[in-house]
Structure 1
Amino acid sequence: MQKESKRCTMYEDDICLCSIEGIMGILSKKWALLIISAIGNNQKLRYNELEKKLDKISPKTLADRLKELENANIIKREPFAQIPPRVEYSLTKEGDGTERCCNDL
């Protein structure tokens, strides 16, 4: 069974909205945009730094949102093999908006 290929519709000023359909469910969740903003404003952040910046977020919610955003390829999780363990989060090209739409139309 082959995947149906979608054709990108380019809008005025080369704005492509085709990828939005797949991530609206994630972005509309509480804290998701604030997490993206915090990481984007700081280039890279560790979990504890994110938790401090987002003062009232619960650890479970933060962990859940980070996993969802990583699975959607909006953020990148970079673990370092050291003691104590260290993980940094940064935006992907898709997450920071530098990736061109679909097939670089």
Structure 2
Amino acid sequence: MQKGSRKCAAYEDDICLCSIEGIMGVLSKKWALLIISAIGNNRRLRYNELEKKLDGISPKTLADRLRELEDVNIIKREAFAEIPPRVEYSLTKDGVELRNAIIPLMKWALLRDIRL
């Protein structure tokens, strides 16, 4: 099947989820939403700062999630030509819009003390 050739099987009152399968594959991974939230709360963060804010995340998982979020244009990685090298992460315009969209979900979960 070619990209974009899939028909949505939703009924007229249903919301078709076909177009968001790819981004949901990234966002549903552990730590993804917390990374978006942490970067959004701080505007821009370096790798080590982000690792400290996300207590318990492994360096490999953090690196993988950052790469995945960058690949789908949610975060921006900016490398500076300095010694030692410096890299900062910030949200893209799409990342800011996504963060704004998930804030009500985070508030809802917080009010219900929902933890897994």
For these two proteins, the number of residue pairs brought into alignment is 89
Q: Which structure would you say has the larger RCO, counting Cα contacts within 8 Å and 6 or more residues apart?
A: 1
TM-score (norm 1): 0.75
TM-score (norm 2): 0.68
| Identity value in percent | 83
Q: Hey, which bits of structure 1, 4+ residues long, moved more than 4 A?
A: 2-6
- Structure 2 partner of 1:87: 87
Q: Which has the larger radius of gyration?
A: 2
State the distance in 1 between where 2:75 and 2:85 align. Answer: 19
Q: Does the C-alpha gap of structure 1 residues 60 and 3 become closer, same or farther in structure 2, counting only changes over 3 Å?
A: closer
Name stretches of at least 5 consecutive residues in structure 2 with no aligned partner. Answer: 7-16, 99-116
| Greater helix share, structure number | 2
Map 1:4-23 onto structure 2 (within 5 A).
4=4, 20-23=20-23
- Deviation per CA, 1:3-25: give whole Å up to 9, x if none: 6589xxxxxxxxxx775332000
Name stretches of at least 5 consecutive residues in structure 1 with no aligned partner. Answer: 7-16, 99-105
Q: Does the C-alpha gap of structure 1 residues 59 and 18 become closer, same or farther in structure 2, counting only changes over 3 Å?
A: same
| Greater strand share, structure number | 1
State the distance in 1 between where 2:53 and 2:21 align. Answer: 29
CA RMSD of aligned residues (A): 2.3
State the distance in 2 between where 1:93 and 1:19 align. Answer: 19
